[in-house]
Amino acid sequence: MDDGTDASKQTSRLVEVTLDERSIGRNTPDVEHERKVAIFDLIEENHFELPGKAAGPYTLQLSIAENRLVFAVGDADAGPITSFMLSLSPFRRLVKDYFLVCESYYEAIKTAPPSRIEALDMGRRGLHDEGSRLLTERLAGKIEVDFDTARRLFTLICALHWKG
């Protein structure tokens, strides 16, 4: 885990994140925007560490293959370090619910009263938090991340699924 030193902050982090274009369908401008913001925010500030593996900084490519989430982790020059898959089954309900709430939220911001928008946003954030906790649990022993990094990664997992 990050010990807070400057050296640790330089090595326990992602410097590039890409999504496999074959895993992504065409998306709405809202989804594209959310994806770009999540990648930008993730690169700007993150904690990402491979326990027992080569030190970072790291690159990450996310993709979906055979109904599994693929994490391909490389060094700063994208040279391969490790790759592993996570089953998407534990995320299905959360991702589906998150999509439904997001679609309602994007519709509501056009015409709904502020109280409705706020309620949908709270629901959206709650599902996002739940997905982030689940991702952190599923990554245990493979990748150490902080909560904010897990949140941004969950956004990208959703972006891989959202074939609007």
Cβ-contact 8, 2 below 8 angstroms: yes
Assign 113 to helix, strand or coil: coil
- Give domain limits for the chain: 6-161
Computed on alpha carbons and rounded to an integer, the radius of gyration of the chain in Å comes to: 16
- How confident is the model over 25-62, as pLDDT tens digits? 666 776 778 778 889 999 999 999 999 888 889 999 99
| Neighbour tally for 161: CB within 10 Å | 19
Report the alpha-carbon distance of residue 147 to residue 143 in Å, rounded.
12
Residues 6+ apart with CB under 8 A from 135: 91, 145, 150, 153, 154, 157
Rounded Cα distance, 61 and 125, in Å = 25
At 1, the pLDDT band (50, 70, 90 cuts) reads: very low
Please say if the pLDDT value at position 17 is more than 90.
yes
Q: Which of 25, 117, 34, 96 has its CA nearest to residue 64?
A: 25
User: pTM of the predicted model, to two decimals?
Assistant: 0.82
Q: How confident is the model over 126-162, as pLDDT tens digits?
A: 999 999 999 999 999 999 999 999 999 998 888 776 6
pLDDT at 2 over 50: no
Instruction: Return the closest-CA partner of residue 19 out of 54, 55, 71, 66.
Output: 71
Average pLDDT rounded to a whole number, residues 92-121: 91
Task: Reply yes or no on whether the pLDDT at 3 is more than 80.
Answer: no
Average pLDDT over residues 115-125: 93
pLDDT at 23 exceeding the cut of 80? no
The per-residue pLDDT for 6 is 55
Cis status of the peptide bond prior to 57, with omega within 30 of 0: yes
